[in-house]
Amino acid sequence: MEMVPSAFTRRRFLAALGIGTVGVAAASACVTLPTNAPAATPHPADHGETGSAGAGAADMDAKHEAKIKAFPAATKGKGGQPMPFRMEGDRKVFEVTCQMADWEVEPGKVVKAMTYNGTMPGPEIRVTEGDKVRVVVKNELPESTAIHWHGLYTDNLADGVPGVTQPPIKPGETYIYEFTAAPVGSHMYHSHHDAATQVTAGLLGAFIVEPKDRSKLPKYDSEYTLILNDGSHGFTLNGKAFPATEPLKMRMGETLLIRYMNEGLMAHPMHLHGMPMEVIAKDGYPLPNPYLCDTQFIAPGDRYDVLVRPVNPGTWAFHCHILNHAESAEGMFGMVTVLVVEPAAGAAAPTLPYVCKLDRETA
């Protein structure tokens, strides 16, 4: 009986804190992700109850462990990076090319994605309220498209709905949108043409409008945009499926802003272990009365801004709580990542005032 954390757990814990040192299994085999339907939940009697119970359990554990050891797995491409712009007079000009791209969702799973500038999600557009914005959209896809600025107050002709506010942007065409950035908040841009397919296939990105007067913002030390998707490419966080999802990192004493956005076809309740989230805004609009929770439901089209202030350091699981979007008998997959909370800057590694005992009294 061990009265202190086992070597296993201590090693994992420390490895997680210095997470770059965790080995990457670039060629690990990948589970086939269910699409648009809950995974079947096998009857519990289906595994482990045959004569080879122990063997079945060990096999399942090995699969689970392999998945976790592969995390965070290296994959090609990273979505949601800042989109550069140039000034033309007093106007910020962004260039968006709609194009097919091979996109590695998880190690070895490369899909045909529809992308903005080659990544899924597309680059993050970030401007300040009142900015004059021009977005030059070139369509290199084999089908028509259009961009809707979800949450923004554009003039009607810039709203991006083919047949209502503009013609579709045909293959090879370029279309230019102009508007003044408002309102402040976490918004999105995505296709509004054959959108059930095009958005879930990758034509989506964050569009964030910052206030001129930053003193109005809540206090936070860092921020993270987390885009949910669940279309033909599987269950993803920022375009990647576990174990290729990105771990979030912060320190004790800091505050992290997470901007949740759902671009999928299903709602996802995101659960953060070990600490509360303070929900401060819905669709970019500050809530008059922020509330605390540990599981925040995010429906398609929703954005929620939450502040995270950790209670304890460690490696905290962070996943969709529709459990078959996150785990199967083959191990964790899809909408899973972790929040790594390091000790406060300059502080010693945390003393661990608890005891987790592993007592292998085999039955």
Instruction: Restricting to residues 33-62, name those near its own copies by CB under 8 A.
Output: 35-45, 47-49, 53-54, 56-58, 60-61
| 21: contact with its own copies by CB under 8 A | no
Nearer to its own copies, 126 or 134 (CB): 134
Structure tokens that stand for 348 in this block: 């010693």
Amino acid at 115: T
Shortest Cβ distance from residue 338 to its own copies (Å)?
7
Give the span between the Cα atoms of 137 and 146, in whole angstroms.
8
Nearer to its own copies, 82 or 361 (CB): 361
| 20: contact with its own copies by CB under 8 A | no
Distances (CA, A) of 219 to 195, 307, 349: 36, 9, 26
| 309: contact with its own copies by CB under 8 A | no
Give the span between the Cα atoms of 238 and 240, in whole angstroms.
6
Give the span between the Cα atoms of 114 and 130, in whole angstroms.
30
| 92: contact with its own copies by CB under 8 A | no
Provide the pairing of β-strand 248-251 with 336-342. Answer: parallel
Q: With the C-alpha atoms ordered 229, 267, 306, 183, is the resulting torsion angle positive or negative?
A: positive
Residue 19's SS3 state is helix
Shortest Cβ distance from residue 104 to its own copies (Å)?
15
User: Residues 26, 74, 299, 349: which binds its own copies (CB under 8 A)?
Assistant: 299
Site residues for its own copies, 103-162, by CB under 8 A, read 112-114, 140-144, 148, 150-159, 161-162
| 88: contact with its own copies by CB under 8 A | no
Evaluate whether 156 touches 204 at the Cβ level (below 8 Å). no
DSSP 270: E
| Sheet of 336-342, strands arranged across | 248-251, 336-342, 314-320, 268-272, 295-298
Structure tokens that stand for 85 in this block: 């712009």
User: Residues 20, 82, 89, 288: which binds its own copies (CB under 8 A)?
Assistant: 288
Shortest Cβ distance from residue 285 to its own copies (Å)?
4
Give the span between the Cα atoms of 348 and 297, in whole angstroms.
36
Give the span between the Cα atoms of 251 and 329, in whole angstroms.
33
Nearer to its own copies, 74 or 176 (CB): 176
Site residues for its own copies, 157-196, by CB under 8 A, read 157-159, 161-168, 170-179, 183, 192-196
Nearer to its own copies, 57 or 74 (CB): 57
Shortest Cβ distance from residue 328 to its own copies (Å)?
6
Nearer to its own copies, 178 or 254 (CB): 178
Site residues for its own copies, 204-263, by CB under 8 A, read 231-232
Nearer to its own copies, 83 or 120 (CB): 120
| 199: contact with its own copies by CB under 8 A | yes
Nearer to its own copies, 107 or 168 (CB): 168
| 359: contact with its own copies by CB under 8 A | yes
Contact stretch for its own copies (CB under 8 A) within 23-31, 81-89, 211-219, 280-288: 280-288
Nearer to its own copies, 64 or 249 (CB): 64
Nearer to its own copies, 122 or 313 (CB): 313
Evaluate whether 172 touches 179 at the Cβ level (below 8 Å). no
Shortest Cβ distance from residue 185 to its own copies (Å)?
10
| DSSP codes of every residue in 292-339 | EESEEEE-TT-EEEEEE--SS-EEEEEEESSGGGTEETTEE-BSEEEE
Contact stretch for its own copies (CB under 8 A) within 76-84, 219-227, 252-260, 271-279: 271-279
Nearer to its own copies, 82 or 198 (CB): 198
- Of 295, 255, 263, 301, nearest in space to 282 by CA: 301
Evaluate whether 65 touches 12 at the Cβ level (below 8 Å). no
| 352: contact with its own copies by CB under 8 A | yes
Structure tokens that stand for 77 in this block: 């491409």
